Amino acid sequence: MKLLVLNGPNLNLLGLREPEIYGRRSYADLERFLNDCAGEIGAELEIFQSNHEGVLVDRIQQAYGVFDGIVFNPAAYTHTSVALLDALKAVGIPTVEVHLSDPDKREDFRKISYVRPACLKTVKGLGFESYRQALLFLAAYLRGEREV
Ligand code: DQA
C-alpha cells in the first residue's frame, strides 16, 4: 500500500510558527512521526510539503496511478482553494483531510473547507495524532476493513 502525505504552506515552519497552536515540535519531527506510523501500519509512505498551490495541484495529479491514498493537510489553502478540490476530484484517490489544530474552533474564515467534499473524512485538533488517525483510517479503508 502506497500512501502520500501532502502538507501545504507554512507547515515547514512547525515548531517556530504559533507554537501555542501548533506545538513546539518541528517539521522534521513530524516526518519522523509519520515514518513511525507507516511502520506501524505496514504502508509505504512518501511525504511532501509545498508552500505553493500549483505545486500541490501537480503533486496530486502525479499521484494518479501511483498512490493508493492521500493524507492531506492543505493548511491555509483548505479555506481558499477550488483548484485543490478539483485536483482531488479529478484523480479520485481516496483522501483524508487532516489538521493539527481544530479550524472549526478558530476564526470564522477557517470554518470553510473547500477540499472536504473530495475527502472521505476529516481528522482535526489532535496535533500529530491527527495524521496517525488519518493514516490508520485510510489503511483500514483501503484494506476494505472500514466504511466511511
Ligand atoms: C492547519 C489549519 C489551517 O487553518 C491553517 O491555515 C494551517 C494549519 C492545521 O493543521 O491546523 O496552516 O491546516
Ligand 1 binding pocket (C-beta < 6 A) is 10, 73, 75-76, 78, 99-101, 103, 110
Residues of the domain holding 21:
2-142
pLDDT in tens, 85-96: 999 999 999 999
The answer to the question of residue 148 being in a domain is no
Atom of ligand 1 nearest to the CA of 11: 12
pLDDT in tens, 124-148: 999 999 999 999 999 999 999 977 7
Atom of ligand 1 nearest to the CA of 21: 11
User: Residue 97 Cα, ligand 1 centroid: separation in angstroms?
Assistant: 11
The answer to the question of residue 46 being in a domain is yes
The answer to the question of residue 134 being in a domain is yes
- SS (HEC) of 37-80: HHHHHCCEEEEEECCCHHHHHHHHHHHCCCCCEEEEECHHHHHC
The answer to the question of residue 31 being in a domain is yes
The catalytic site residues sit at 22, 99
Pocket test for ligand 1, best of 96, 100, 113, 122 (most atoms within 8 A of CB): 100
User: Residue 120 Cα, ligand 1 centroid: separation in angstroms?
Assistant: 19
Atom of ligand 1 nearest to the CA of 8: 12
Q: Are 33 and 49 in contact, with CB atoms under 8 Å apart?
A: no
The answer to the question of residue 63 being in a domain is yes
Q: Output the domain CATH number for residue 13.
A: 3.40.50.9100
Per 3-state DSSP, the chain is made up of helix, strand and coil in percentages (nearest 5) of 50, 20, 35
pLDDT in tens, 26-69: 999 999 999 999 999 999 999 999 999 999 999 999 999 999 99
- Please give the tally of structural domains in the chain: 1
